[in-house]
């Protein structure tokens, strides 16, 4: 189906596999926000979720299909096990999309067949064929994944792929489910499929892989050289365990080294045509959005989108870059949308100026969200003389992309010093509208705040991560606080941005607690309904 001259298809699974990262749970509105940005980024396929797993997942897939799955937008995909109920639910969820895909999967490795499925190879062949044919009755765009393909017997894998393609699969995805395979092995696996599956010309070969050994991106690039034409990846590489292949790393590797990869796609070596449909200038913004909403910070030395990715500390490097950036930089920071901070707004700037700049930055806000963002802008502008694009982005994300205000922070006050016991007083408004005040002593001001908040909210939890980052340089910089809480086996994140990191710390904690409290309420409602 795919010719060598076609571009590489980017299949983004941030909203499905990426959300499986511990603590990265997203609500429906947050998923929709990310999906809209993924469409601006130019991904070809959005795996919006696993519709059968919960009513919330179904609704998220359906809303994304309706809102983002336009005629000119990306394909909207839902994952489904090779079971009729799963497939039927997935089909219903993607129905509003102009272009919908069902992605069904079934394990093929002997270890999965023996211990997980408890089925024979013949049974698996029959189920895979039957379920792909069933999915085909709902849509023509069907993807099949032989789970744990990297540890499957190649000869059996060839049989499975041949049967599912004959049954109607238009994409066959080869997953390195446990991140075990190495680049040369993955390349050989893809080549073997091309050479031994008789009807492979009727399907696109896709790859999916995890980063347990830090080899996911290298594996994918080797797969491209051997005929893979769809890459399944996530923003910032988030996902199960050590995560997935990172979209930004794959895209920029193919962009920067396109002369190297061109021949493998049947192109002239010197062709400047892009190898993907991705708008690379949207990469940094997308990375920041996903990081903010999931609460998963990007490590400073992360390739492409880390804060140090374009920073130079060595004097020799600094001297070279000042003379010519090409001496130590293989790509321009602007190519991923990372520009120098431009001072564009101040306390005298009006609503229209803020609206215009936010639109230029890619934010599409409702009138209500704009009003909330403008109020925050004015508050900060009174304290901070110059407002940069990064400041504005942090404020908007903080104001409009938060957990529901079940508990609302009304007041936080601390007393601390070298010869004093850190003490905090907090006032919160509970979901019933009552104001509750309490105080506590801690090992430091933030610890005291969190203890006081816990006394008010009274929801058991364990703080497992606390991080503060400066949005920009300077003594008046906005600080972003990200925290993660654990309750039983679930992790809940919260974040906030403020020129006062004490206030930001308190608000981030309340945001995380609101997510936890909301989850407990929903669980109670489901138990009552059941």
353 CB contacts (<8 Å, ≥6 apart)? 345
For the entire predicted model, the pTM comes to: 0.83
Contact 301, 307 (CB under 8 A): no
Per-residue confidence (pLDDT) for residue 330, from 0 to 100 = 76
Helix (H/G/I), strand (E/B), else coil: 338: coil
pLDDT of 125-162, one tens digit each? 999 999 999 999 999 999 999 999 999 999 999 999 99
Query: What's residue 343's pLDDT?
Result: 46
Which of 230-234, 418-422, 484-488 reaches the highest mean pLDDT?
230-234
How far apart CA 47 and CA 496 sit, in angstroms, is 28
- Choose among 144, 162, 150, 158: nearest CA to 187: 150
What pLDDT shows up at residue 37?
94
CA distance 503 to 301: 28
CA nearest 11: which of 43, 49, 38?
43
Average pLDDT over residues 452-465: 93
- pLDDT confidence of residue 327: 58
Alpha-carbon dihedral angle through residues 79, 84, 89, 94, given to the nearest 10 degrees? 60
Residue % of the chain over a pLDDT of 90: 63
Q: Mean pLDDT highest for which of 86-90, 464-468, 513-517?
A: 86-90
Phi and psi dihedrals of 139, rounded to 5?
Answer: -155, 155
- Enumerate the H helices of 384-500 as residue ranges: 389-400, 445-457
Beta carbons of 49 and 31 less than 8 angstroms apart: yes
- pLDDT at residue 360 is higher than 80: no
Backbone angles phi, psi at 270, to 5 degrees: -90, 10
The mean pLDDT value of the chain amounts to 89
> What is the spatial distance between Cα 272 and Cα 259, in angstroms, rounded to a whole number?
8
CA atoms of 189 and 173, how far apart (whole Å): 12
Local confidence band at 370 (pLDDT 50, 70, 90 cut-offs):
confident
Q: How many residues does the chain have?
A: 530
Residue 465's SS3 state is: strand
* Distance, CA of 97 to CA of 99 (rounded, Å): 5
User: Residue 352's CB: how many other CB atoms inside 10 A?
Assistant: 8
Q: Does pLDDT of 45 surpass 90?
A: yes
Under 8 Å between Cβ of 451 and 458: no
* Tens digits of residue pLDDT in 421-437: 999 999 999 999 999 99
| Strand order through the sheet with 420-429 | 408-417, 420-429, 435-441
Tell me the pLDDT band of 382, cut-offs 50, 70 and 90. Answer: confident
pLDDT at 220: 98
pLDDT band at 168 (very low <50, low <70, confident <90, very high): very high
Residue whose structure tokens are 């009274």: 458
Cα(416)–Cα(395) distance, integer angstroms: 28
Under 8 Å CB-to-CB from 364, ≥6 apart: which residues? 36
Q: Which pair of structure tokens corresponds to residue 471?
A: 């949005």
Please check whether residue 238 is in contact with residue 25, taking contact to mean a CB–CB distance below 8 angstroms: no
Range scoring the smallest mean pLDDT among 23-32, 261-270, 406-415, 431-440: 23-32
Task: Write down the residue that tokens 């009807």 correspond to.
Answer: 199
pLDDT band at 400 (very low <50, low <70, confident <90, very high): low
């Amino acid at each position: 189906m795919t010719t060598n001259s076609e571009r590489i298809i980017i299949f983004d699974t941030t909203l499905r596999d990426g959300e499986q990262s511990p603590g990265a749970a997203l609500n429906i509105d947050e998923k929709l926000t990310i999906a809209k940005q993924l469409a601006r980024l130019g991904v070809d396929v959005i795996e919006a979720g696993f519709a059968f797993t919960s009513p919330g997942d179904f609704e998220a897939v359906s809303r994304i299909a309706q809102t983002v799955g336009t005629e000119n937008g990306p394909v909207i995909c839902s994952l489904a096990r090779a079971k009729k109920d799963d497939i039927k639910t997935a089909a219903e969820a993607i129905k509003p999309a102009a272009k919908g895909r069902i992605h069904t999967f079934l394990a093929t490795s002997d270890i999965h067949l023996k211990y997980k499925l408890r089925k024979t190879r013949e049974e698996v062949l029959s189920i895979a064929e039957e379920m792909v044919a069933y999915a085909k009755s709902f849509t023509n765009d069907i993807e099949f994944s032989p789970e744990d393909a990297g540890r499957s017997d190649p000869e059996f894998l060839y049989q499975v792929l041949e049967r599912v393609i004959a049954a109607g699969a238009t994409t066959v995805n080869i997953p390195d489910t446990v991140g075990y395979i190495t680049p040369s092995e993955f390349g050989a696996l893809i080549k073997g499929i091309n050479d031994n599956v008789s009807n492979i010309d009727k399907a696109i070969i896709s790859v999916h892989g995890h980063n347990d050994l830090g080899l996911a991106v290298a594996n994918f690039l080797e797969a491209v050289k051997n005929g893979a034409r769809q890459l399944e990846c996530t923003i910032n590489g988030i996902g199960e365990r050590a995560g997935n292949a990172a979209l930004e790393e794959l895209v920029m590797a193919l962009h920067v080294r396109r002369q190297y990869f061109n021949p493998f796609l049947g192109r002239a070596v010197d062709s400047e045509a892009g190898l993907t449909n991705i708008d690379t200038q949207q990469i940094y913004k997308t990375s920041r959005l996903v990081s903010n909403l999931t609460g998963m910070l990007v490590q400073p030395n992360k390739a492409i989108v880390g804060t140090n990715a374009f920073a130079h500390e060595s004097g020799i490097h600094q001297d070279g870059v000042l003379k010519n950036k090409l001496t130590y930089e293989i790509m321009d920071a602007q190519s991923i949308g990372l520009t120098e901070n431009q001072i564009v707004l101040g306390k005298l700037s009006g609503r229209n100026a803020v609206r215009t700049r936010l639109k230029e930055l890619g934010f599409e806000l409702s009138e209500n969200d704009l009003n909330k963002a403008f109020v925050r802008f004015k508050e900060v502008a009174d304290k901070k003389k110059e407002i940069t694009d990064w400041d504005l982005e942090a404020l908007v994300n903080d104001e409009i992309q938060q957990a529901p205000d079940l508990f609302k922070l009304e007041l936080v006050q601390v007393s601390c010093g070298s010869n004093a016991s850190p003490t905090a007083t907090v006032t919160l408004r509970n979901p019933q509208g009552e104001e509750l005040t309490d105080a506590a002593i801690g090992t430091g001001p933030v610890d005291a705040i969190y203890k006081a908040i816990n006394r008010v909210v009274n929801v058991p939890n364990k703080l497992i991560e606390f991080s503060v980052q400066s949005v920009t340089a300077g003594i008046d910089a906005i600080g972003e606080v990200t925290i993660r809480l654990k309750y039983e086996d679930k992790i809940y994140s919260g974040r906030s941005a403020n020129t006062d990191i004490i206030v930001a710390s308190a608000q981030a904690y309340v945001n995380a607690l609101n997510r936890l409290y909301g989850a407990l309420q929903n669980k109670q409602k489901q138990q009552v309904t059941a």
